Amino acid sequence: MGMESSSLKQQVALVTIMSVKDIRPAAVALRDIAWDRANLRIALADNIASKTPLMDEDGGILAAEVFGWNAPNERWWADTRLALSSPLPRACRYESEPFWVNAEGFRTPQPNRYLEAIDLSNFEKRALCRSAIVIPVHLPFGQIGIATYAAADPTRLDLSAEYGEHADALYLLTHRFIAGCVKALRTRQWLPADCQLTKREVECLRWASIGKTDKEISMILGRSHATVRFHIQNAGEKLDAVNRSQTIFKAAQLGYLGYAA
């Protein structure tokens, strides 16, 4: 157990990124670790909402140059529609723990009724694999990354053994790698640093986020219409938002508004 823990620590160090120049060697290390652990091939994206594939310091596309997805039927990174059409990134919007999946369904550590509603018809064509271990990476500001680990044998349907033995380690390694890439590549600050909303501002924004008007919020909270408007406007100034919609959006990105489970 001690040796295994030490080995994992060493692997985490290899995929840790401190600057842009570390991205490519860390990607090579992650590729080799996945192969050495269970003959798994990696496909990953730092942001499922972005059309731009993950690149290294020199603009090299990691999916092609490091992870080897170059065959005509493997160039998933060139398909800008994949995040919307594939069930794998779609599932990552509803699940934060590692899971494995094939056409027969999702296997997760705990039941997730949202995944049960995802259409898996024509799975191989839409997911570009027959089965995969999937690592969702939920990052600050609502960004979601994803890594899929597919067996070297493309005919494999059952990855339960690999999932049981390696999923937790792959989650740690993947999260460290993708989070490091995002921090190293971030060049613009979209949200104000250390923004702190008051309890009353959060209350007003939570009601506004589900469509309540200022008048309705004032009745719910027992405050005047002007007071509610003041709290929402004040929150907008703190968040550097240009209007009510952006105030709600930015507050949600920072985790102030919560969600219904």
Domains along the chain?
A: 2-185 (3.30.450.80), 199-253 (1.10.10.10)
* Strand segments (E) across 28-165: 40-45, 99-102, 105-107, 131-138, 144-151
What is the pLDDT, as a whole number, of residue 261? 47
Q: What pLDDT digit, counting tens, does each position of 181-206 carry?
A: 999 998 777 777 888 999 999 999 99
Q: What pLDDT digit, counting tens, does each position of 103-153 carry?
A: 999 999 999 999 999 999 999 999 999 999 999 999 998 899 999 999 999
pTM, two decimal places: 0.88
- Name which of 25-29, 43-47, 71-75, 154-158 the model is least confident about: 71-75
What is the pLDDT, as a whole number, of residue 1? 43
Q: What is the Cα–Cα distance from 129 to 151, expressed in whole angstroms?
A: 9
Q: What is the Cα–Cα distance from 177 to 5, expressed in whole angstroms?
A: 18
Q: Checking DSSP bridges between strand 105-107 and strand 40-45, what pairing results, if any?
A: unpaired
Q: What is the Cα–Cα distance from 3 to 59, expressed in whole angstroms?
A: 37
